[in-house]
Structure 1
Amino acid sequence: MDNEIELRHLRYFVAVAEELHFGRAAARLHLAQPPLSQQIKKLEEILGYALFTRTSRAVKLTSAGEVFLERAQRTLRHVREDMEEVRSIGRGEVGYLRVGFIGSSMLTVLPAIFGRYRRAYPKVNLQLQESYTSGVVEGLLKATLDAGILRDGGPTHGLTVERLYSEPFVAVLPGKHPLAKQRALSPRALKDEPFVFYPPYSSKLAYEKPVSICEAHGFRPKVVQEAPQWLTILRLVGAGLGVSIAPACVERIAAPDVVCIPLRGAAVRSDIELAFREGEGREIVRAFAEIVRDGFAHGRKMKIPS
């Protein structure tokens, strides 16, 4: 250990080399001059070469000292940069953040939230992955994702799931349907209709919620067609293949051949949720979660368009 160069040796040497005066260097370092002189001598012994020529009137760098000054300054600069990078990682300002999200969440304030996060943390490599709720949950549990935005994921072992936003369900009908001009509908009015529905494997709870609305009004929907995306479902409804029950946000992408009508007497709502692994303590995830929560809270105050 006595023959190893330490960072303090480099700091002491750089101070003397820049001041070319042991007294001024000692004052700059808040040291007494004798210990500083001893440490420089120790550094020269470790290197095996003199770094300074000393006279009663002046201190000068040797040729070896001039080269070592450049190297020492570079080393100290890199150490400072590395320390700041580590601190930035600790603050969640740099690194990789992998976020999974469900497609319908893009019909809320989430896109603006992603934009806000990128502006707040430009050095973070934000990697976004669209999937179903089941796919996002799987990615979180397998640690291929760091955070997720779910729809009706519900309590999940191993995950912390927080509700961000809750919205009602609406009936989705072809524009030429006999009920299309109603201002509100009872779910019972859809009892004999064919349904175009989201597949149950995408999210068990997201599938069960609209089904439960139907069951509460005395029937189970007759599903004649499944589709993985709400845009596809809306297009199929518009083409006359059936009706559907969907979160209210889908009205934002409804074409003129489709109408979305509020459901009367339907207490069940659809939830957008934030999820991450239980015990997650990384600052990069905490900072993302904070921006997401704030964004949806602000959106609720501003009445998120649906």
Structure 2
Amino acid sequence: MNLKQLRYFLVVAEEKQITAAAKRLYIAQPPLSYQLKQLEKELGAQLFKRTAHGIELTDVGQIFQSYANEIISLAQNAENQVHKTISGELETIAIGMASSSTGLIPMNSFNELRKYYPEISFDIYEDNTYGILDKLEKKTIDLGIVRTPYNQTGLNTKTLTTEKMMAISVDPDFQPKKELRIKDLADQPLIIYRRFEDIFNQTFAHHGLKPFYAVKCDDSRTAITWAKRKMGVALVPESIATTYAQENMIAIKHANWITHLQLVWRKDHQVTPLMKKIIAAI
């Protein structure tokens, strides 16, 4: 098995036709088919099956596709790093940002970095917290900004913000209230960011209440959108509420509903002088 075969496999899986894949790869069909057969022979499994519309991945092929994508991505990252080292272009840093960290960076202190690194450049990757942690695991990024709670094993962390949860509602009966208590939420259709569900459940259970989750989603901004469409009361971190729904937010009085944005990097990652300055700036 080699990288060329993996690249061929991925293109054929995407095109779903040998002819189209061969054209895209600028090779003839016979050598492409040969490489695929060699790959299947080495794996001892059939990766493709013929259909009326072309070819599709088998169940085994679908499993293999995810590994092939990861191997090719790692190979490209390694190649890019080597080229940067040779050319002296190590002033590039990759930062992953969770969607709920919108507006946090860049900060004014980043301008000071250019005094030390005039050619500095940033690769910014935007994802949810779990996506950012996955990119750290695969070494796609150097630093990540994520939101608690998450598994911190193997990571260095710096807390950037401490935020309480806010309720977002366009219900006029809620708007005059300056602060809500847990019991005020118990009989409302709630819209929640799925990652906080365990925290919410523990709190309601402690108070002997059973909440109704009208909507569960994976992005606080999505929760706010549903709330503005009068689908319920969204529970989101304060910074997101302030950015996207300040006119509709109400504070929730509960000390345990706290979340943090944190800067994270791998403990086994070599911290370069540039990374040290970025960490200090953030």
Give the TM-score category using the shorter length: 0.5 to 0.7
Residue of 163, 166, 174 corresponding to 2:162 = 166
Give the aligned partner of residue 238 of structure 1. Answer: 228
* Structure 2 residue 263 is matched with structure 1 residue 274: yes
Deviation at 1:167, TM superposition (A): 1.1
* Pair 1:228–1:155, CA change in 2 (3 A): closer
Write the letter of the residue equivalent to 2:254. Answer: G
Hey, what's the Cα distance between the residues in 1 that align with 2:197 and 2:118?
37
Residue of 101, 106, 113 corresponding to 1:111 = 106
Question: Is the 1:160–1:276 contact (alpha carbons within 8 Å) kept by the matching residues of 2?
Answer: yes
Residue of 110, 123, 132 corresponding to 2:119 = 123
Write the letter of the residue equivalent to 2:99. Answer: G
Residue of 123, 135, 138 corresponding to 1:139 = 135
Write the letter of the residue equivalent to 1:253. Answer: T
Residue of 180, 187, 192 corresponding to 1:197 = 192
* Pair 1:277–1:119, CA change in 2 (3 A): same
When normalised by structure 2's length, the TM-score is 0.61
Residue of 213, 220, 230 corresponding to 1:223 = 213
* Structure 2 residue 277 is matched with structure 1 residue 287: yes
Deviation at 1:106, TM superposition (A): 1.4
Question: Is the 2:114–2:120 contact (alpha carbons within 8 Å) kept by the matching residues of 1?
Answer: no
Q: Give the 3-state SS of the residue equivalent to 1:111 in structure 2.
A: coil
Whose Rg is larger? 1
Superposed CA offset, 1:254-295 (max 9, x none): 458x62111123333110101000133322322211111xxx
Residue of 93, 110, 113 corresponding to 1:97 = 93
Aligned length: 196
Runs of 5+ consecutive residues of structure 1 not aligned to the other structure? 1-84, 201-205, 293-306
Deviation at 1:220, TM superposition (A): 4.4
When normalised by structure 1's length, the TM-score is 0.56
Deviation at 1:104, TM superposition (A): 1.4
Superposed CA offset, 1:32-60 (max 9, x none): xxxxxxxxxxxxxxxxxxxxxxxxxxxxx
Hey, what's the Cα distance between the residues in 1 that align with 2:162 and 2:269?
25
Hey, what's the Cα distance between the residues in 2 that align with 1:198 and 1:115?
31
Write the letter of the residue equivalent to 1:189. Answer: D
Question: Is the 2:99–2:219 contact (alpha carbons within 8 Å) kept by the matching residues of 1?
Answer: yes
Runs of 5+ consecutive residues of structure 2 not aligned to the other structure? 1-83
Superposition CA RMSD, Å:
2.8
Hey, what's the Cα distance between the residues in 1 that align with 2:213 and 2:253?
21
Deviation at 1:117, TM superposition (A): 6.8
Give the aligned partner of residue 157 of structure 1. Answer: 153
Hey, what's the Cα distance between the residues in 1 that align with 2:109 and 2:130?
21
Write the letter of the residue equivalent to 2:250. Answer: I
Hey, what's the Cα distance between the residues in 1 that align with 2:159 and 2:191?
27
Residue of 238, 245, 249 corresponding to 1:248 = 238
Deviation at 1:222, TM superposition (A): 2.1
Question: Is the 2:168–2:235 contact (alpha carbons within 8 Å) kept by the matching residues of 1?
Answer: yes
Deviation at 1:188, TM superposition (A): 1.3
Hey, what's the Cα distance between the residues in 1 that align with 2:270 and 2:159?
19
* Pair 1:255–1:273, CA change in 2 (3 A): closer
Residue of 188, 198, 206 corresponding to 1:208 = 198
Give the aligned partner of residue 254 of structure 2. Answer: 265
Write the letter of the residue equivalent to 1:140. Answer: L
Deviation at 1:252, TM superposition (A): 2.4
Runs of 4+ in structure 1 off by over 6 angstroms are none
Hey, what's the Cα distance between the residues in 2 that align with 1:122 and 1:272?
29
Worse overlay, 226-235 or 271-280 = 226-235
Superposed CA offset, 1:213-248 (max 9, x none): 434433343222233332322121011111121111
Hey, what's the Cα distance between the residues in 1 that align with 2:252 and 2:264?
29
Q: Give the 3-state SS of the residue equivalent to 1:112 in structure 2.
A: coil
| Percent of residue pairs identical | 21
Question: Is the 1:231–1:253 contact (alpha carbons within 8 Å) kept by the matching residues of 2?
Answer: no
Question: Is the 2:169–2:228 contact (alpha carbons within 8 Å) kept by the matching residues of 1?
Answer: yes
Q: Give the 3-state SS of the residue equivalent to 2:130 in structure 1.
A: helix
